[in-house]
Amino acid sequence: MPGPIVTVRRWCAKFGQAYADGLRRRRPRPGDKWHLDEVFVKINGERKYLWRAVDQDGNVLDILVQGRRDKAAARRAFRHLMKKNGAVPR
């Protein structure tokens, strides 16, 4: 008889993707207005920039940590957000 870890691993292999797909389908659709906030954080003593995108309803769309803070980094974060959500803000 297989141990409990093997049983959980088999269950995840068999049902995990269907479960994840169901959760993704039930996730609320993003609104048409997006806001991009940035915060400075220190990670291992280095200054990083945490970008957080939310829609008008307050749903978090994406969180991204980058080492740079410039126009190219903001565009990269926004492109990643649009690709991930498959939507374009108003």
**Structural domain tally of the chain?**
1
Residue 7 has pLDDT above 70, yes or no: yes
Rounded Cα distance, 64 and 81, in Å? 9
Q: In this predicted model, what pLDDT tens digit does every residue of 40-82 receive, in sequence order?
A: 999 999 999 988 888 888 888 888 888 888 888 778 878 888 8
What does the alpha-carbon distance between residue 2 and residue 42 come to, in Å, rounded to a whole number?
Answer: 45
Q: Is residue 17 part of a domain?
A: no
pLDDT at 46: 93
52 falls within a domain: yes
Q: What is the pLDDT of residue 15?
A: 92
Find the domain containing 68 and state its range.
34-85
* pLDDT value of residue 1: 55
Q: What integer pLDDT is reported at residue 18 of this predicted model?
A: 92
Bigger pLDDT: 3 vs 1? 3
**Displacement of CA 10 from its chain's centroid (Å):** 27
